Structure 1
Amino acid sequence: MDIAKMSIALNQAQVQQQASLSVMKMVMDKGKVQANDMLEMMGEGAAVPTANHPHLGGKIDIQA
């Protein structure tokens, strides 16, 4: 194999690998943002008072 062709092939492989890593980092960052947003929304839901009927749901009837 010619040295010039081998050099070009190695450089192309390196560029492809860098592009792949860049896309993977973008996807991971997007996933972190979505996870943080979901956790924030869940935290807000827990702060909502659910005491409209505090007497409901306190007992379970498990007679057969």
Structure 2
Amino acid sequence: MDIAALATVASQMQVRQDASLKVMDKAMGDAEQQGNQMVEMLESSKVQHPDLGNSVDVKA
């Protein structure tokens, strides 16, 4: 391979890597946002019956 071909291949590899990192960064940002929204949803949910689930009946 000559220098020009190597430079082209290296440039293409760099573009692929940059694009891959951008996609991963976007996915991580989306996952963080979804996690924050889930935390907000769980914190805002109200307990319907405060006594429900506090004891277990083990008799059959």
- Unaligned runs of at least 5 residues, structure 2: none
Residues of 1 paired with 2:19 and 2:51: CA distance?
Answer: 58
TM-score by length of structure 1 reads: 0.76
**Offset, 1:37:** 0.2
TM-score by length of structure 2 reads: 0.81
Number of aligned residue pairs: 60
Report the residue type matching 1:4 in the other structure: A
- Which has the larger Rg? 1
Q: Secondary structure at the match of 2:57?
A: coil
- Unaligned runs of at least 5 residues, structure 1: none
